[in-house]
Chain A
Amino acid sequence: MTALHRWSGLVGLLATAMVPLAGQGYRVRLDSRLESVAWRGVAEDSIPATDVIAQPDGGFLTPDGHAARCQGRTCFFYRAGAIQRGVPWVTRADLALWGLGVNGLSARVNVRLAHDLRGEEIVWPAAQPDLLLDEGYLEYARRSITVRAGRQFLLGRLGAYGLDGGRVVLRSSGGWEVGGYAGWGLARGIAVPVTDPALNPLDDFQPRDRQVVAGVEAGWNGSRVDVHAEYRREIDPAVDYFVSERASAALTLRPVSRIRLTSGGTYDLAFGQLGTADVALSWLGQRVAVTVGGRHYRPFFNLWTIWGAFSPVAYQAWHGAVDVTPMPSVTLHARGERYRFEDTETATPTVDVEDRGWRYTTGISWRATPRWTIDAGHQAEFGPGAAALGYDGRVTFRPTDALTVGAHAARLRRPLELRFNDATVTSYGVDASYRPEAGWRFDLSGSTYHEDRDRPDAAAISWDQVRLSARFSFLIGSSADRLPLPRAVRGARP
């Protein structure tokens, strides 16, 4: 019996046993999506080095025109492969139960099921395993204390982190809160243990045992200041060595009503390095909002991999953003950022790689009438590895309060630095969303992508594709948030 089965059984038993209790509340949200996508794949191929044609720039081409990279007596290249098709059907169910006879006690379950309707191996990233328990825990929450036990995610400066274990947070009436958690950790970015076969790429670096995680946190929330700090360590129980040891701090200041300063960062105690950090100052007016700030980014790798020992360098960035609402129906926004990497101490005369970049986006949203909205945007970015220059637009029509239909188009020029893959992608799409009543939602959408790939060889494979998707979701519950709001118009007869 897997841990997932055990948790499902426990939650099901609990739900069944608690149903008759008076005052019980529940909320069930089911979100089911079906998507169809197809694109041409590629096939790896090789050719003897004696068969390739040397080019003036030092490269090689196969006789049929594919750029090849040679190693010894063999040259490798990719040619057009079979059409890849996928019809992933993904359903996410979210259940919350409260009023279980103990005031403040609730149970939460969040499950994801994925299946490819074509009955073949799903060609979609992160679609395994088929059944995934994202969260499943019991919570006891009162004004001064919150206790959780079960599978849960911690969301904070140290990233979204999952664990099977417990967490306690104590709060004082003065705004202080302290807490701690401990348990067995999950892999980063997915609710499976690091030992799960779904993480095959870990391959021979895959740990034998799950890591044990423990952390403490403290914070204070005031009317003008919010501060939060956390320390977390992960231990490999097989060898009692660290998997990671990190700390974080976050601060928000609101010195006056419209000004806000947010800052914070992480420190990797294992590597002795500042991780990600940022500071931003915002002026938030009713018509104008301005934010300026800086950030420091360094990727985090735990000690189960050797990547951290490859000394990834950080970059520093300065950014600014402006949102303007000159009139109630029009919103303009613009953002920009410049960044530069620290010296990698690896420069060679043979390969020159960008070490700085910039990006900006601008956009406008115009609510032409209460039923029609027009959005347009422009994005450009340039930096190491890739660049992009694009425009997009969208028209949204809401003929009734329940129905929304829209059409969108975009054009993007996307050169890559390390690869002959300059391309222009043009996409069109339509979508519709129908919400017959609160909590119910039906969506349909379709879009096409047409790529003009500017490669100087035969590998300019068409990546054109059509994507269709359907979505159905509903939310039912017994709580007040499921009731339609009554009208409360002053001076009118009820």
Chain B
Amino acid sequence: MIGRSRTVLAAAVLLLAAAGWRIADARPSGPAFDHDEHVGLFPGSCTTCHLGAAEEGSAIWPTAANCATCHDGTVEAVVEWAPPTSSPPTNLRFAHASHRRETRDSVPCATCHQPDGPRGAVTRGRAEDCVDCHEPGMPHLAATDRECARCHVPLAQAVALPEARIAAFPAPPSHDSAEFAFAGHGRLATASRGGRRPQPVSASCSTCHAREFCLLCHVNAPEVAAIQALAPDRRSLLLHAELEAPASHGAATFVTAHGGAADRAGAACATCHTQPSCTACHVAPAPGAVRALPMPGAGRAAGALVSRTPPVSHTAAFREGHGPDASSQPQACATCHVRTECLTCHRGGPSTGAEYHPAGFLTRHPAAAYSRQTSCADCHNTQQFCVTCHAQAGLGARNTLQAGPYHDAKGAFLVGHGQAARQSLESCVSCHVERDCTVCHSAQGGRRFNPHGPGFDAERLRRRNPEMCIACHGRAIPGMS
């Protein structure tokens, strides 16, 4: 039996060694003690052997010599047993002797340690047993803040606690609420501030968490007293945390409407966002709400990663149709776009057309230009841009309308050009200058062909600028006194 136990023990030791030599040190070495077999020797009292449970300063375990009193090879077989050389790693604040003293010896050992296992094995105390007395009816992980601190030391103080046990810390049910990841955990962390002994951070938080854990998300860690009150301990990063973006961030209008919310609740944004979160889109100089956010740095989280996502309104056709949006809400454009981006196209010069027009647009620009699919004049000075190029391509008129053979597909174009001219006059002026037309359409030196068409309000124009009338009519403007 002993040999089998040794085999089991050796295997256990190997396993424990893998988990950490401190754990092995904290267990007694040797065969498991059979309390039932020895119950007659120590009737009714655990403290005969476990004196430390009754007297502060005494060892909780008996010594090997105590066993050898009987197991001397004569009275009983010799056993190789030794008490642990150190206390088990724990984050418990509990000490048997002081507990016994504070309870005035009213809590027998069996209240927590049940000798109902095989061979009278004594079970370890369970957290539920503690809570049964200290906060009856409350589940262990839902215990109030003061009860956590009553039994547990903060994680940072439990220096011997193995990482495997920290990583396996159970999450309290409070952490399951949808609201907990946002405002909820902050309220709980500061819940003890208003008590009789106000604390900057709840003891229940510090039981499992240290400052580094908060730094996973909190950009504003240096400004949050509760976080600063936590001791640093990188082992707290062993607890897995994954923060989803708030539901508000998923709204279709969030990209375009978050500015107002940021103005109203900038501090809330600063929980997760540093300036680079905003400047992924916001161009400098950034709005005040952005500048109020911290920059990433030591003691802060890096900040939520924001990818530059165009608003849903920026469809494939938006480039050619952005004018209505831009003119009604120009400030919104300036959020993500610098003026240079506007000028690159709207000051269309040489070699910049590719920014706006698709590849090969030059070859098909006549159709787009004739009907002004978009207004060429929004980006080009047609008197310079179009005329210069058309002239070099042989399309420019040279002072007289008749000289240009461009309209050769219409044999009598000259006498019937009025419709084409009124429909697409901008196309005409991409080759012609005024003088080409006043050859005929002028009352001064021309052939007096009337160019005025439907809706022409001569008096209205004369009031605005008679110079235009004078260009063709001289001072003898019809109807003008």
Contact = CB atoms under 8 A, between A and B. Distances in A.
A160 B316 contact: no
A321 B465 CA distance: 42
A189 B363 contact: no
A418 B410 contact: yes
Contact of B367 (A98, A189, A245, A386): A386
Contact of A41 (B347, B392, B407): B392
Contacts of B370: 383-386
A480 B296 CA distance: 10
B305 A487 contact: yes
Interface string A37-62: 00001111000000000000111000
A427 B204 CA distance: 71
A289 B315 contact: yes
Given A313-B454, A385-B366, A198 B284 contact: no
A301 B348 CA distance: 19
Interface stretch (B79-87, B153-161, B398-406): B398-406
A303 B464 contact: yes
Contact of A339 (B344, B347, B371): B371
Contacts of B302: 486-488, 494
30 contacts: A35-B350, A42-B393, A68-B405, A69-B404, A71-B402, A84-B392, A114-B349, A155-B326, A159-B377, A189-B379, A202-B433, A228-B327, A271-B460, A299-B377, A303-B461, A309-B468, A311-B451, A313-B454, A333-B316, A345-B453, A350-B412, A351-B413, A382-B367, A387-B367, A410-B363, A425-B363, A427-B359, A481-B282, A486-B305, A487-B302
B353 to A, nearest CB: 10
Contacts of B424: 384-385
Give the 9 A-B CB pairs with smallest separation, nearest first.
Answer: A351-B416, A42-B394, A311-B453, A346-B418, A385-B370, A189-B381, A250-B328, A479-B284, A486-B302
Interface in A95-131: 96, 98-99, 106, 108, 110, 112, 114, 122-128
The interface centre, meaning the residue of B240, B363, B400 with most chain A CB atoms within 10 A of its CB, is: B363
Interface string B451-478: 1111111001100111111011000000
A242 B465 CA distance: 6
Contact of B435 (A204, A280, A479): A204
A258 interface: yes
A152 to B, nearest CB: 9
A291 interface: yes
Interface in B192-242: 215-217, 237, 240-242
Given A344-B422, A353-B420, A270 B461 contact: yes
B364 A384 contact: no
A346 B324 contact: no
B146 interface: no
Contact of B315 (A78, A228, A291): A291
Contacts of B392: 41, 84, 123
Contacts of B407: 418-419
Contacts of A447: 359-360
A485 interface: yes
A277 to B, nearest CB: 10
Nearest to B425: A312
Interface stretch (B49-57, B97-105, B166-174, B382-390): B382-390
Contacts of A477: 284
Interface in B288-335: 288, 295-296, 301-306, 312-313, 315-317, 321, 323-332
B375 A201 contact: no
Interface of B: 215-217, 237, 240-243, 251-253, 257, 260, 274-277, 279-280, 282-286, 288, 295-296, 301-306, 312-313, 315-317, 321, 323-332, 338-340, 342-344, 346-352, 358-360, 363-364, 366-373, 375, 377-389, 392-394, 398, 400, 402-413, 415-427, 429, 433-435, 437-438, 441, 451-457, 460-461, 464-469, 471-472
A173 B363 CA distance: 49
Given A191-B347, A226-B328, A346-B418, 17 more contacts: A25-B285, A77-B405, A125-B388, A134-B343, A153-B347, A189-B379, A226-B329, A248-B327, A250-B324, A252-B325, A264-B327, A313-B422, A343-B454, A351-B412, A418-B413, A419-B407, A488-B304
B350 A479 contact: no
A483 B284 contact: no
A21 interface: no
A88 B452 contact: no
Contact of A76 (B360, B402, B471): B402
Interface stretch (A1-9, A10-18, A355-363, A397-405): A355-363
Nearest to B429: A307
A342 B274 CA distance: 56
A429 B359 contact: yes
B366 A490 contact: no
A494 B299 CA distance: 12
A469 interface: yes
A90 B349 contact: yes
Contacts of A35: 350-351
A289 B312 contact: yes
A199 B384 contact: yes
A67 interface: yes
A410 to B, nearest CB: 5
Contacts of B398: 44
A167 to B, nearest CB: 12
B410 to A, nearest CB: 5
A378 interface: no
Given A315-B423, A351-B412, A110 B343 contact: yes
A414 B363 contact: yes
A305 interface: yes
A78 B394 contact: yes
Contacts of B286: 479-481
Nearest to A67: B408
Contacts of A232: none
A228 B429 contact: no
Contacts of B363: 410, 412, 414, 425, 427, 449, 451
Contacts of B419: 344, 346-348, 351, 353, 355
B419 to A, nearest CB: 5
Contact of A414 (B303, B312, B364): B364
A35 B279 CA distance: 33
A135 B338 CA distance: 13
B453 A310 contact: yes
A205 B471 contact: yes
